[in-house]
């Protein structure tokens, strides 16, 4: 039996670990805020100059050059959107609009099919025939769904490549529905391996990862979901893992 001093020492070590983690998170948030501030001004300048280039006669008269500059323009706009999304973690405001959930899911599924993976895995869509609308930020919600789809694809492909006795092909499904309590349910399911209990307890912790790298993906997903007054839950078995985003309906 551990003595009272040993128990106290263990509690002190746990507290020191929590303090250390909170300090790292505070430092990360501070650095992120400074980074967003430092990049926003030059990015705005770049976007403005690209818009001017697109109306320059030299560019408008050269279809190939115009197409290249339009590609750059789209890329910088995506970067600007990501920068705005990152402001969620630096307590900056955001603009909420009416969201068409089915449209967002359909477009995000299309993007997910082009994620860099060893094998292409089409997303099975099972969208509600009803119009589903909520209030929020379309970029942030799409980002949360895309991150969950990314994890689902990795999980399904990992099981198919490591299990030779599997009787089913890898599969990822994205579905929407309206619950009895008038909540919009966005479900992302995959046929990958079961999430182990220890991973399930820790996977939403900042910096935790099973991929040998800095893990912030599910932490970001959870924060994006909470920012929409929504809930994020999951179930996992040997046959299927499913993450559910429950959004308030507007």
Q: Is 27 found in the same domain as 84? A: yes
Please tell me the total number of residues recorded for the chain in this structure: 250
pLDDT given at position 49: 87
Helix (H), strand (E) at residue 248: strand 241-248
pLDDT given at position 181: 92
Q: Is 130 found in the same domain as 86? A: no
Q: Is 127 found in the same domain as 18? A: no
Give pLDDT tens digits along the chain (250 positions).
667 777 666 766 666 665 565 555 555 656 666 677 677 778 888 888 888 888 898 888 999 898 888 888 888 877 777 676 665 555 455 568 899 999 999 989 988 887 777 777 889 999 999 999 999 988 889 889 988 998 899 888 886 655 544 456 888 999 999 999 999 999 999 998 888 888 888 887 766 666 655 456 788 888 889 889 999 999 999 889 999 999 999 8
Q: Is 225 found in the same domain as 140? A: yes
Q: Is 205 found in the same domain as 243? A: yes
Give the CA dihedral 245, 25, 195, 229, nearest 10 degrees.
-10
Domain span including residue 224: 97-248
Q: Is 125 found in the same domain as 47? A: no
Which DSSP string corresponds to 157-181? HHHHHH-TT--S---EEEEEEE-TT
Out of 90, 105, 129, pick the residue that ends a domain: 90
Q: Give this prediction's pTM.
A: 0.63
């Amino acid at each position: 039996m551990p003595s009272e001093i040993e128990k106290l020492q263990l509690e002190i070590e746990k507290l020191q670990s929590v303090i250390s983690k909170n300090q790292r998170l505070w430092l990360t948030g501070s650095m992120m805020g400074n980074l967003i501030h430092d990049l926003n001004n030059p990015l705005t300048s770049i976007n403005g100059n690209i818009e001017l280039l697109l109306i320059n006669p030299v560019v408008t008269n050269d279809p190939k050059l115009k197409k290249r500059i339009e590609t750059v323009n789209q890329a910088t706009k995506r970067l600007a959107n990501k920068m705005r999304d990152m402001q969620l973690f630096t307590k900056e405001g955001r603009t909420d609009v009416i969201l068409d959930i089915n449209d967002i899911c359909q477009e995000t599924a299309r993007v997910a099919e082009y994620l860099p993976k060893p094998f292409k895995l089409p997303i099975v869509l099972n969208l509600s025939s009803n119009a589903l609308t909520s209030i929020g930020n379309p970029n942030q919600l799409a980002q949360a769904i895309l991150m969950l789809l990314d994890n689902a694809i990795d999980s399904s492909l990992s099981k198919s490549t490591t299990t030779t006795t599997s009787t089913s092909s890898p599969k990822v499904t994205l579905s929407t529905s309206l619950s009895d309590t008038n909540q919009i349910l966005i479900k992302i399911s995959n046929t990958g391996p079961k999430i182990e209990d220890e991973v399930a307890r820790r996977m939403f912790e900042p910096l935790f990862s099973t991929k040998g790298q800095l893990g912030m993906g599910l932490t970001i997903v959870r924060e994006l979901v909470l920012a929409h007054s929504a809930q994020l839950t999951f179930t996992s078995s040997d046959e299927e893992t499913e993450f559910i985003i429950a959004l308030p309906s507007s």
